[in-house]
Structure 1
Amino acid sequence: MTDALLVSNIILWIVVVGLSLLVLALARQVGILHERVAPAGALLPTSGPKVGELTQALELTTLDGTRLTLGGENSARLATFILFISPTCPVCKVLVPTAKSLIKSEQSRIQLVFASDGADTDREMTQHKSYIKDLKITDYPYIISQQLGMSYEVSKLPFAVLIGSDGILKSKGLVNTREHMESLIESMDSEMVSIQEFVGRTERARGENADADAQHKTAAEKSVKVHEPATVEQSS
């Protein structure tokens, strides 16, 4: 009985040690994979206006009653970054300060506009007014418009749209981090549909440069061998 218990304990410990080693190996592989995977940009939806198309000018009214035109050519020659948010979206609340910080660094060429919907009742309207005060975005245009959301087929939040000063839709997509929002601006600057395309081109360029460097190194080594002086042996 004692021998059987001892054997079972030994087997149990062997299994525990084996599983621990397996978990460590998996953790290491996950870490390596994380380092190799490129940062994900904003998820580009397949519906709504296409990137590269001229956007329709919409005459809208902000929460404070100011008239604002979104879409079409911008008279101030500014691109427009529209961030769709909602009082019922927890991620939006966290993302708003990040959006303010990001666009502040780009304010010479990009204006920030917040958009939402769901203000059919006085209670909902009051909720929106409290929402923008809590987020400290009363100085930014805040539009409550179902039409605007439908125009770009916004189905999930937070969602961002970047319209160039020429009225062309430069980029759009679901955004959850600063990196996602930066990817939309990067897409506009690089004139690429998505940051994934940008990363792909960058990786291809790096590969081509590496091949060119290898060929240059090989050619240089051959040149050195050709010009090496012959060794003359002298007899004593």
Structure 2
Amino acid sequence: MNTFFWISYSILWLLVVPLVILNLVLFRQLGIMVMGTARGVNQSGIPVGKKIPEAVTTKLQGTEWSTSELMGMPSLMLFGSPTCKECADILPDFKRIAEKNNVKPVLLLFSSVDLASDYIRKIAYEDEVLIVSSEFANHLDVQVTPYAYAVDTNGVIRHKGLVNSREQLEAYAKAARAS
């Protein structure tokens, strides 16, 4: 009986240790998804303090737009998507916060022109909207939404990362002004 006890005791520990490790990994993933602590996502993108690279995309109306148009005025670039729930939650405050902080709002949508047009009409957004191509997104190192860059008057990135609340939008707009 003593031998049986020690064998079963050892086997249980061999099962418990990997389960504990697996639970820790799962809790970390849950924290990243639910709590918005995706440090890895916030470390992506163009580093803070670097100048935004020259990149070209198209406006919703079909004309070209370049990141060089950001020079001379602090800007808040918000990357969103018509299918992003968090984007829909913060978009009503986006233009108001940008105007309040005297920064230019730049809304960039990962979308087709048709879907973006319907979405903009539905939310009654009246400012300029840009369509993000995969090439443009790769050039600016943006893979998720809602993602933002606070760009100062010299085209230097002052803040970047995921934006999930009105308070974060405020912080980004203030960072763009503080150059």
Using the size of structure 1 for normalisation, the TM-score is 0.54
SS in 2 for 1:45: helix
- The 8 Å contact of residues 114 and 140 in structure 1, kept in 2 or not, is answered as yes
Q: Pick from 61, 86, 95 the counterpart of residue 81 of structure 2.
A: 86
Q: Pick from 95, 101, 106 the counterpart of residue 113 of structure 1.
A: 106
Greater relative contact order (Cα < 8 A, sep 6+): 2
**What is the root-mean-square deviation of aligned Cα atoms in Å?**
2.6
Whichever residue aligns with residue 66 of structure 1, its letter is T
- Structure 2 unaligned blocks of 5 or more: 1-35
| Pair 1:144 & 2:170 matched | no
Whichever residue aligns with residue 183 of structure 1, its letter is A
- The 8 Å contact of residues 55 and 67 in structure 2, kept in 1 or not, is answered as yes
- The 8 Å contact of residues 77 and 107 in structure 2, kept in 1 or not, is answered as yes
Q: Pick from 147, 162, 174 the counterpart of residue 159 of structure 1.
A: 147
Q: Pick from 82, 97, 107 the counterpart of residue 102 of structure 1.
A: 97
Q: 1:132 to 1:162 in 2, by over 3 A?
A: same
Mapped to 2, the partners of 1:188 and 1:126 lie a distance apart of 31
Q: Pick from 167, 170, 175 the counterpart of residue 179 of structure 1.
A: 167
**1:70: which partner in 2?**
67
Number of corresponding residues: 143
SS in 2 for 1:176: coil
Using the size of structure 2 for normalisation, the TM-score is 0.69
Q: Pick from 39, 48, 52 the counterpart of residue 51 of structure 1.
A: 48
SS in 1 for 2:141: coil
**2:25: which partner in 1?**
none
Mapped to 1, the partners of 2:178 and 2:97 lie a distance apart of 18
SS in 1 for 2:120: helix
- Structure 1 unaligned blocks of 5 or more: 1-39, 120-124, 192-236
Identity of aligned residues (%): 25
1:96 Cα deviation after fit: 0.5
